[in-house]
Structure 1
Amino acid sequence: MSDIGFFARRYGPPPREGRPVMVLVHGLGLSGRYFVPLARRLAESGATVVVPDLPGNARSRAAARRAPDVEQLADALARLHQRLSSGPSLFVANSVGCQVAAALAARHPHLVSRLVLVGPALEPRVSGWRQFGRLVADVPGEPFSLLCLAVFDYLVTGLLRCAASFHRSLRDAAESFEVNLSHVRAPTLVVRGAGDTIASGTWTRRVAGLVADGRAEELPGAAHAAHYSAPDAMAALIEKFTVGGTG
């Protein structure tokens, strides 16, 4: 899919009225490729699953002249949604993608039926250097295949653009992330890999408490990219959440 102005992958049947649509939102500097295992698993249930490379990133690098800020990315997702579905959709986001999803739910609430936030970052009131240190500490807990994928995506996106995106995301974390979360009315599931060094248990529970209708879950044996290392377990959580709500 490229008629929306940036690249997106689709799994499952074509979108149509009455069929669930799920949009998977990647983290800073990456592509949607590390969501592919989860996307394929979710599509097996009959859902339409869309995995974009957000503007300015990876295969959509040329879609933005400079690194977009979080609100611009949220608005780009809103435009994508208008091409996909006449009704609200479920959005699954990882890491800094959670900031984008929160901004989308705050700015365009009618587009979001439910949110799943996996390892939400960046944590407010934590310095950029400390956040970077947490990222480095997470590396040993991730599959080697993910590390190879991430390095390739960072190089395609460009290290300078990644740095600019990091700066914009830090500013959003300091000024807007918690405010946006407090405006989220859609049922929200916040998931943390038990070995995640980036999104602490205290912070993920706070995220679940900030939204109007949230719950927190932890996946054992996974780190920050729990959706990649444990796609079956993540899909089971999402499917249970979509059927049973936050209970």
Structure 2
Amino acid sequence: MADRTFTLRSGRVVGLSGFGDSDAERLVVFCHPAPGSSMFDPDPDASAERSAHIVALDRPGYGSSEPWPAGTWPSITGAADDIAEYVRSVVVAESVIGVSRPRTIGVVGWSAGGRVALALAARHPQLVDRVAIVGTPAPNEAVPWIEPQLQAMSDRLSAMEPDAARAQLSGMLQPQADAVAAASEPGDVPLDLLGIGAVDQQVLARPGLRDRLGRMLEDAFRQGTVGVADDILSYTARPWGFDLADVAAKTLVIAGQADAVAGHAHAAWYQRSLPDARMEMVPGAGHLVVAPMWDRILSHVAPNRVRR
């Protein structure tokens, strides 16, 4: 689970995990996939070699973070604002004790987390100078990827009250939580929940990676299915709530050539839609491209910061 918690001004508690170099000046925020949680480090060796303090926050309902309040719709922008509040609190608190941290950060989002990363950059441009999104699906209306019957279901949920929509979708997702709970070891947790398939098997052979993903999924469902239900509602049943044109940060868009979830068409859409974006396609890689490309990703969001 998360290694600490932070209480927002609203009183809601969020869980946080940190990795990399805790003493580094450069702060990087990692936004996890759906389902997911803050405890996943894509490549601990690469994280340790980069002079960056990497922090991840559990989105509401995942891990150690309290769910969205009753009667409110989950939102991508709300999750981004939680991160902004935490980052600003860190800068203020550290300045009081004489620590001077740069006022801007890098942010990374894998899969669904990419939307949160972009929302953070769009809504808080003075806070974010570099973004990397990895295997992030585009809006369904721009690049169709959601099965029509599932989008129709999301459209029906969007017409309901938020608590009713959350309860109905949570019930539908219960088999995912049951499958994770049935695994005897983290390495046995089914990874198809993350869009990881046969093309990713070579990457999964990396030491410890399968177990780290399994532990992340176990933590993701610790409160049941509310976290993933709210995530899905935030981007399929509700407007995203921000404009990509407002992302002023230098953005790296990474996708695997063999990613069945969010491949070239998605990455190309983001490159066209963002003001300052570079696209890199990884030959032979699937949705787990975040692991083999983690060092490249960190070199973008924390440039010129290699530990000596």
Q: In which range does the TM-score fall when normalised by the shorter chain? A: 0.7 to 0.9
Match of 1:116 among 124, 132, 148: 132
User: Contact conserved, 1:24 with 1:91, CA < 8 A, in 2?
Assistant: yes
> Which whole-Å deviations, capped at 9, do the CAs of 1:138-161 have from their partners, x for residues lacking one?
433343546634642443242254
1:216 and 2:279 aligned:
yes
* Shift of residue 45, structure 1, vs aligned partner: 2.1
Match of 2:240 among 168, 171, 176: 176
> Which whole-Å deviations, capped at 9, do the CAs of 1:71-109 have from their partners, x for residues lacking one?
110110111211334511000101111111111111111
Match of 2:19 among 11, 20, 23: 11
SS at match of 1:168: helix
- Supply the AA of the counterpart residue of 1:223: G
Match of 1:141 among 172, 180, 199: 199
Match of 1:31 among 37, 58, 62: 37
Question: Which segments of 5 or more consecutive residues in structure 1 lack a partner in the other structure?
Answer: none
- TM-score (structure 1 length as normaliser): 0.80
User: Contact conserved, 2:22 with 2:52, CA < 8 A, in 1?
Assistant: no
User: Contact conserved, 1:105 with 1:112, CA < 8 A, in 2?
Assistant: yes
User: Contact conserved, 1:131 with 1:198, CA < 8 A, in 2?
Assistant: no
Q: As a proportion of its length, which structure holds more helix?
A: 1
Which residue number corresponds to residue 238 of structure 1? 298
Which residue number corresponds to residue 117 of structure 2? 101
* Shift of residue 121, structure 1, vs aligned partner: 2.2
> Which whole-Å deviations, capped at 9, do the CAs of 1:187-213 have from their partners, x for residues lacking one?
000001222111120220110121111
Which residue number corresponds to residue 159 of structure 2? none
Give the number of the structure with larger relative contact order, counting CA–CA contacts within 8 Å between residues 6 or more apart.
Answer: 2
- Stretch of structure 1 that moved more, 65-74 or 150-159: 150-159
1:80 and 1:194 mapped to 2: Cα distance? Answer: 35
- Stretch of structure 1 that moved more, 120-129 or 73-82: 120-129
- Supply the AA of the counterpart residue of 1:235: D
Which residue number corresponds to residue 5 of structure 2? 2
Within-5 A mapping of 1:49-198: 49-60=54-65, 62=66, 64-65=68-69, 68-85=74-91, 87-125=103-141, 126=144, 128-129=146-147, 138-142=196-200, 143=204, 144-145=210-211, 148-149=214-215, 151-172=217-238, 175-176=239-240, 180-198=243-261
SS at match of 1:3: strand
- Stretch of structure 1 that moved more, 135-144 or 70-79: 135-144
* Shift of residue 63, structure 1, vs aligned partner: 5.2
Assess, with a 3 A threshold, how the Cα gap between structure 1 residues 180 and 32 changes in structure 2: closer, same or farther.
same
SS at match of 1:92: strand
Question: Which segments of 5 or more consecutive residues in structure 2 lack a partner in the other structure?
Answer: 8-12, 92-101, 151-191, 205-209
Which residue number corresponds to residue 226 of structure 1? 289
- Supply the AA of the counterpart residue of 1:2: T
- TM-score (structure 2 length as normaliser): 0.65
Assess, with a 3 A threshold, how the Cα gap between structure 1 residues 218 and 234 changes in structure 2: closer, same or farther.
farther
Assess, with a 3 A threshold, how the Cα gap between structure 1 residues 181 and 156 changes in structure 2: closer, same or farther.
same
User: Contact conserved, 2:254 with 2:281, CA < 8 A, in 1?
Assistant: yes
2:103 and 2:300 mapped to 1: Cα distance? Answer: 21
- Which has more radius of gyration? 2
* Shift of residue 115, structure 1, vs aligned partner: 0.2
2:281 and 2:259 mapped to 1: Cα distance? Answer: 10
- Supply the AA of the counterpart residue of 2:246: H
Q: How many pairs were matched up?
A: 234
- Supply the AA of the counterpart residue of 1:238: L
